[in-house]
Amino acid sequence: MRPVRRFVITVLSSVLTMTVGACAPDRDTRDTRDTRPTARQSRVPQGGPWQPAARTDMPGNLYDVVATGAGDAWAVGDEDDGAVVMRWRGEAWTKVEVPRRLGLHGLRVVAASGPSDVWVFGAGGPSSGQEARAARWHGTQWTSTWREPNSFVDAATIAGPDHVWVAARRTGGDGTCRSVLRHHTSAGWPAVALPSVVCVQAMHALASQDVWAVGEARGRPATLHWDGQKWRTVSLPPAVAGPNGELRGLAAQSPTQVWAVGRTGRMGGAVGPVAVRWDGRKWESVVDPTVPGKFVDAAADGHDGVLVSASSASGDDLVFHYDGRQWSWEHVASDHSVTGLTVIPDTSRIVAVGICCEGYDEDTTGKIWMRH
């Protein structure tokens, strides 16, 4: 969600000190007890708990973030037609130089197993966006590690230095999005077959034999699991598995605490949020239809709950918290798009990254917000 894309959190105190306000009106006559709680707005101090922490130059974007410890976090994106990497060292965010020799035009995903084992994935080559590439930070220098022609990186995760997964998207002749999965081991980057045509949007490894992937399969939300031997499709609840939907965010804390989030409905029409929890045996829906907008990314909170970034129809960006019983939410920013979310281990800090003023290319800026 999130040593993986969303680093597994073992200790986290005071993740969201939210005071519950009035319930949103119930617009669904189905039984909403236990598994379909209504979201409630948090009462927060004037100015809000989310504070801007850093930004890129213009034009710029930030897409993903990961934390490996209390004093180490990484955010990636693009800036002025080049790759940008920003690092948190416990006090402030600073830019990390990405050598031009790597040929990276922009970055979309970051994954790490520790401060000296950080992988970034994005686009490169002579034509920006036409070739997927990866680079690895060893603690002192960057090295180029992988290339995939005619593809675009959507997701990656790490289960250790010799167990890295990356999903590269390709579009078939019929327009269907399909992913090629590469698994980095000591033997190289072999392709690993998927059980069906799936467009993978997020991945999370708990161990080398316990990896999850989510996305969409021909317009329907899909989840898959790697057991160390092969990938298999895992069924979703009927209410979630219908047409015109996808899963975009994934977080895991343990084999019985896995979360996947996304949307249901057709883009451009009515869209609603999706959130499901894996309890070790099955997926269970845990979102109420009164929650506004669509869910984008997820991060385990370390206390059997999940944090979820969302965008609403009004253009506001929100962060939701589900504590296992009910949902609450906080406002992050307006006229922004929050694309990545993580929790910094052993602290109460939460990090969100995204894009300011999306839609105006010359004015876009990648931004980082933090909640203490």
Q: What is the pLDDT along the chain (372 residues), one digit of tens a residue?
A: 444 433 333 333 344 443 323 323 333 333 333 333 344 444 333 356 999 999 998 889 999 999 999 999 999 999 987 999 999 999 999 999 999 999 998 999 999 999 999 999 999 876 555 799 999 999 999 999 999 988 999 999 998 878 999 999 987 667 788 899 999 988 899 999 999 999 999 999 999 999 999 999 988 999 999 999 999 999 999 988 888 889 999 999 999 999 999 988 765 666 789 999 999 999 999 987 666 678 999 999 988 899 999 876 666 788 999 998 889 989 898 777 889 999 999 999 999 999 887 555 567 899 999 998
Contact call for residues 258 and 252 (beta carbons, < 8 A): yes
pTM of the model: 0.85
Residue 363, Ramachandran bin (φ over 0: left; ψ between -120 and 50: alpha; else beta): alpha
Indicate the class that CATH gives domain 20-27+46-246+333-371: mainly beta
CA distance 150 to 73: 30
Contact call for residues 213 and 167 (beta carbons, < 8 A): yes
Contact call for residues 29 and 288 (beta carbons, < 8 A): no
CA distance 139 to 298: 27
pLDDT confidence of residue 361: 57
* Among 136, 91, 145, residue whose Cα is nearest residue 115: 136
CA distance 53 to 368: 5
Query: What is the three-class DSSP state of 23?
Result: strand
Q: CA torsion angle for 200, 201, 205, 208 (degrees, to 10)? A: 20
Contacts of 209 (CB under 8 A, 6+ apart): 226, 227, 228
